[in-house]
Amino acid sequence: MFGISKKAITILFGLLALAFAVGAILLFTPQAGQQARGKPVLWVNGKAVYELDLLRLQGNDPLYAANPQGLLKNLVDTHFLEQVILTEALKQDAARIRVGSAEVRKEVDRIKEQFGLKDKKAYEQFLNQVGYTDAQLRSEVKTQLQIQKRLEQIRSAAKPTPEEVRFYFEVHQENYKGEPRVKARQIVVDDAKLAAELLAKAKAGEDFAALAKQHSKVGAEQGGALGAAPGESEPKPVTKVVFPEKVAEAVFAKKGPGLVGPIEAGGRYYLVKVEEYLPPKVPTFEEVKEQVEKDAQEAKGNGALEAYLENLRQKAQVRFAEDSPFSYKNLPVAKVNEQEILLAQVLQPVFSNQQTAALIQQGLGDLAVQFFLPQTLESLIERELLVEAAKKSGKPFIGSKDQIAQAYLLYETRGLTATEEEARRFYAENPALFTIPASAEVTGVVFKAEAKAKAFREAALRGGDLQALAKAQEGTVTEYGTVSPNQLPAVLDRLVFKVKETFPKGPMGEVSEVVKLEDGTFAVLLVKNRKPEVLKPFNEVVEEAKERVILSKRQQKGQALVQELRKAAKIENRLSQVLAELTPKTQEPAKPPTQEAPKEAPAKP
Region of residue 183 (phi > 0: left; psi between -120 and 50: alpha; otherwise: beta): beta
Q: Does residue 296 lie in a domain region?
A: no
Kindly give the interhelix angle for 373-393 and 538-568, rounded to the nearest 10 degrees: 90
More confident residue, 8 or 83: 83
111 pLDDT above the threshold of 90: no
205 and 86 in one domain? Answer: no
Q: Looking at residues 503-516, what average pLDDT do you find?
A: 91
* Of 176, 216, 170, nearest in space to 194 by CA: 216
pLDDT at position 589 is 53
More confident residue, 260 or 589: 260
Judge whether 85 and 309 are in contact, CB under 8 Å: no
219 and 191 in one domain? Answer: yes
CB atoms within 10 A of CB 311: 10
Q: Per-residue confidence at 560, pLDDT binned at 50, 70, 90?
A: very high
228 and 117 in one domain? Answer: no
545 pLDDT above the threshold of 70: yes
251 and 190 in one domain? Answer: yes
Q: Does residue 605 lie in a domain region?
A: no
pLDDT in tens, 252-277: 887 788 888 888 888 889 989 998 88
513 and 488 in one domain? Answer: yes
Instruction: Decide which of 245, 278, 311 is a domain's last residue.
Output: 278
Lowest mean pLDDT among 45-59, 146-160, 397-411, 545-559: 45-59
Q: Does residue 469 lie in a domain region?
A: yes
Q: Does residue 187 lie in a domain region?
A: yes
Entry pTM: 0.77
List phi, psi (to 5°) of 349: -65, -30
Q: Looking at residues 477-496, what average pLDDT do you find?
A: 90
Q: Does residue 594 lie in a domain region?
A: no
**Structurally, how many domains does the chain consist of?**
4
More confident residue, 79 or 502: 79
Domain that holds residue 366: 331-434+536-584
pLDDT at position 178 is 83
pLDDT in tens, 319-363: 998 888 888 899 999 999 989 999 999 998 988 888 887 888 888
Q: Looking at residues 466-472, what average pLDDT do you find?
A: 92
pLDDT at position 119 is 86
Q: Does residue 312 lie in a domain region?
A: no
Instruction: Decide which of 102, 122, 157 is a domain's last residue.
Output: 157
3 pLDDT above the threshold of 70: no
355 and 266 in one domain? Answer: no
507 and 462 in one domain? Answer: yes
430 and 350 in one domain? Answer: yes
Q: Looking at residues 275-290, what average pLDDT do you find?
A: 89
User: CATH no. for residue 56?
Assistant: 1.10.4030
pLDDT in tens, 187-238: 888 888 888 888 888 888 888 888 888 888 888 888 888 888 887 888 899 8
Say what percent of the chain tops pLDDT 90: 47
400 pLDDT above the threshold of 70: yes
222 and 239 in one domain? Answer: yes
437 pLDDT above the threshold of 70: yes
Dist. CA 223–CA 212, nearest whole Å: 5
541 and 521 in one domain? Answer: no
pLDDT in tens, 4-45: 333 333 333 333 343 333 333 433 344 444 446 778 889 999
Say what percent of the chain tops pLDDT 70: 91
Q: Where are the beta strands (DSSP E) in 383-541?
A: 435-436, 439-447, 476-483, 505-506, 509-511, 515-516, 522-531, 534-535
Q: Does residue 291 lie in a domain region?
A: no
